[in-house]
Amino acid sequence: MAEVAAIKTAAEQALTAAYEGARGRLPGTGTVAALRADAFKRFDAQGLPHRRVEEWKYTDLRKLMANAYPLAAAPDAAAKARAKSVATAFDTLDCRRLVFVDGVFVAELSDLSPEPGLTIGTMADALAKGDALVAGHVGKTFATEDVAVALNTALMGDGAVIKVAAGIELKRPIHLVFVAGDATPNACFIRSLIVVEDGAKAAIAESHEGGSAQVNCALELAIGDGAEVDYFKVTRTGGLHIASLLLTAGAKSRFDTFALTYDAALVRNQSFIRFAGEGAKGGMRGVNLQRGKEHVDNTLLIEHAAGHCDSREQFKAVLDDQSHSVFQGKIVVKPHAQTTDSKMMTRALLLSDEAEADNKPELEIFADDVVCGHGATAGALDPGLKFYLMSRGIDAQQAEALLIQAFIGETVEEVTHEGFRDALMTAAVQWLEGRAR
Amino acid sequence: MPLLEIKNLHVEVEDKKILNGLNLTVEKGQVAAIMGPNGSGKSTLSYVLAGKDNYTVTEGEILLDGESILEMAPDERAAKGVFLAFQYPVEVPGVATMTFLRTALNAQRKLRGEPEYSTPDFLKLVREKSGELGVSQEHLRRAVNVGFSGGEKKRNEILQMAILQPRLAVLDETDSGLDIDALKIVSDGVNRLRSPERSMIVITHYQRLLDYIVPDVVHVMAKGRVVRTGGKELALELEANGYAQYTDEAA
């Protein structure tokens, strides 16, 4: 009997070939290899996500991904040299830099000076050695059927493995810097794990800079009871970038995430967030600055699985030319998650008639004592405001820049870490100045 | 040469004719009141002077120091010294009043080829002017007009005027929405700015404002043009008799 199989696209065939060709040398055996095989099976059955998959409706990967590049080789001296000169938005801050070139950790560009309570390793090592921390967490922080996450699991190469021990407050933020070193387009599958144990405090930043690579990165972030985490992600790349944040928050923990995306061709930031312990507070925010034909998608799935938790979500997009932004935010409140307080807001500022913003907030509430709300707006700059500023002597471009700055400033100002707040605003203002030129 | 000369001005808004051959001359140092019934075109005149979009001048001229300003963008007019105190000042969320004042002042100075204000000089200027108008430091830190009461917004307009030091100030119904105490504060602020170098156009429905800001000349507008000009006693006459004779006459 003939089996009916969907016709595979060139990219899907290339991804299958990449997995088949690499499975023998990808790090990890035994349970890790089984995890990969299982994940690959999911991709093989479903293919790349497309517009009929609800979560990917506005970012049709099957259509947008014409081909899949070969897996990146380990960076050579020239690639490392190129990577060294790459500037990031957080260079002015005193951070511990951990540098990855083409998805591979480069020790000589990184700061591995010891700090009590902090353990740093690489995912490739941890997978190969069957590290207990990784075995205990990878694939378990937030179980999802998502195909992009499955592809990451099947092909994960390297990434950071970080543990902040219970009660430790990190002295400096950790800055994970991902840069493209290879001049020819390649693909990287980066998997990181960060475990912030009970009562610990950490600030973590992640920069993705430059290149035209196809990057699929996933970060599992496990936040212990009473721990506090600030997480910032800046994405600026000419390639295809899919990032999955898989986060679980313990009781009475506090976390804030912020994603700034600009000068980026095609980005999907998807966050899977679980409030696992009672009384946790979390903020998820982001700003996209887009022009040309850039496509940026921020998709959130927030699961309130425990009671008395607060979450705040605020995402803004500034859209010029024919750019396209997507925001999807789904808040799920489980039956026992009483007194959940969740507010989600998304706003798009359209600077051009041809720009497109798709905003889709969703609430799924199974508890009866909750405060949940969402809002979405899309509009142009208010001509009345612009005239008011101009009537005071401010020229048209500066008036627009001031109003756009105010629009995104409302979200950036929510960042409590002063250094990162300033650095994010500076990056945004530079983009605006570049626009005026 | 008069500071402002408007000759035979015809203006349309969305194909509707609002100003219909308006003539008006304002001398240097003069305070001219413009009074008139609703719909006579007073606010349109103020927007046309400031250069708002969608106000199409189909005929006529506006000359500032003998130079036409019709082709100038609003910011260029501001740099030339035109200032409009809005009837309904807009709220600008996210832009702190201090940042706004400083950006505006330095933008104007830059357009005029003057040096920008240093931070200490600017702060000193703002402290002095805000003190005179009773505008608190707290208000200066807040976003422009956001959450301000009607009176606070009007006071903020006069503060901007005091800092920007225009040569032609147009006050569009600055008295509307003010209680008597706020009216006094705002009028005192305006009177402090009277100078032989500065002209003002004070647009109002009511004579009451002109008790505080005493005009040199009063113009009556009806149906898109100036229909009568007189001294300050003309305002009292209008208060007593109303505008009926002008609307009928023009019709």
For residue B66, the domain's CATH number is: 3.40.50.300
Q: Do B104 and A403 touch (CB under 8 A)?
A: no
With a cut of 80, say whether residue A4 has pLDDT above it. Answer: no
pLDDT band, residue B251 (cuts 50/70/90): very low
pLDDT digits (tens, 9 = 90+) for B100-141: 999 999 999 999 999 999 999 999 999 999 999 989 999 999
Least confident of A149-163, A214-228, B85-99, B215-229: B85-99
For residue A7, what pLDDT is reported? 84
Whether the Cβ atoms of residue A251 and residue A280 lie closer than 8 Å to each other: yes
The Cα–Cα gap between A269 and A267 comes to 6
For residue A218, what pLDDT is reported? 98
The Cα–Cα gap between B95 and A409 comes to 9
Q: At A86, which amino acid appears?
A: V
- B85 interfacial to chain A (CB closer than 8 Å): no
With a cut of 90, say whether residue B250 has pLDDT above it. Answer: no
Domain residues of chain A, as ranges?
Answer: 72-381, 382-437
With a cut of 60, say whether residue A2 has pLDDT above it. Answer: no
Domain that holds residue B27: 4-90+166-250
DSSP A401-425: HHHHHHHHHHHHTT---HHHHHHHH
Q: Do B51 and A391 touch (CB under 8 A)?
A: yes
Q: Whose CA is closest to A237, among A102, A76, A347?
A: A102
pLDDT band, residue A213 (cuts 50/70/90): very high
Which one has a higher pLDDT value, A233 or B141?
Answer: A233
In a domain, B123, yes or no: no
With a cut of 60, say whether residue B62 has pLDDT above it. Answer: yes
- List of long-range contacts for B242-249, beta carbons under 8 Å, 24+ apart: B243/B36, B243/B37, B246/B36, B246/B37, B246/B220, B246/B222, B247/B37, B247/B222, B247/B223, B249/B222
Average pLDDT in chain B: 93
In a domain, B184, yes or no: yes
**CA R_g for chain B:** 18
| Helix, strand or coil, per DSSP, at residue A360 | strand
Chain B nearest CA to A402, separation (Å): 7
Whether the Cβ atoms of residue A66 and residue A11 lie closer than 8 Å to each other: yes
Q: Do A385 and B92 touch (CB under 8 A)?
A: yes
| Neighbouring residues of A68: CB distance < 8 A, sequence distance ≥ 6 | A10, A11, A12, A14, A15, A18, A187, A214
pLDDT digits (tens, 9 = 90+) for B130-185: 999 989 999 999 999 988 988 899 999 999 999 999 999 999 999 888 888 889 98
pLDDT band, residue B249 (cuts 50/70/90): low
Which of chain B's residues have a Cβ under 8 Å away from the Cβ of A385? 90, 92
In a domain, B226, yes or no: yes
For residue A436, what pLDDT is reported? 66
pLDDT digits (tens, 9 = 90+) for A14-49: 999 999 999 999 999 999 999 999 999 999 999 999
The Cα–Cα gap between B26 and B40 comes to 19
The Cα–Cα gap between A101 and A210 comes to 11
Q: Whose CA is closest to A316, among A308, A325, A329?
A: A325
Least confident of A132-146, A289-303, B136-150: B136-150
Residue A364: count of CB within 10 angstroms of its CB: 12
With a cut of 70, say whether residue A5 has pLDDT above it. Answer: no
The Cα–Cα gap between A82 and A71 comes to 19
- The structural domain count of chain B equals 1
Q: Whose CA is closest to A161, among A142, A143, A135, A140?
A: A135
With a cut of 70, say whether residue B248 has pLDDT above it. Answer: no
Q: Do A394 and B104 touch (CB under 8 A)?
A: yes
Chain B nearest CA to A259, separation (Å): 20
In a domain, B222, yes or no: yes
pLDDT band, residue A84 (cuts 50/70/90): confident
For residue A185, what pLDDT is reported? 87
Q: Do A383 and B53 touch (CB under 8 A)?
A: yes
Average pLDDT in chain A: 95
With a cut of 60, say whether residue B60 has pLDDT above it. Answer: yes
| Helix, strand or coil, per DSSP, at residue A235 | strand
| Neighbouring residues of A326: CB distance < 8 A, sequence distance ≥ 6 | A58, A59, A295, A296, A297, A298, A299, A357, A358, A359, A360
Residue A197: count of CB within 10 angstroms of its CB: 20
Which of chain B's residues have a Cβ under 8 Å away from the Cβ of A383? 53
pLDDT digits (tens, 9 = 90+) for A46-77: 999 999 999 999 999 999 999 999 999 999 99
In a domain, B33, yes or no: yes
In a domain, B81, yes or no: yes
Q: Tell me, what's the ipTM?
A: 0.95
| Neighbouring residues of B124: CB distance < 8 A, sequence distance ≥ 6 | none
Neighbouring C-alpha atoms within 13 Å toward the C-beta of B137: 3
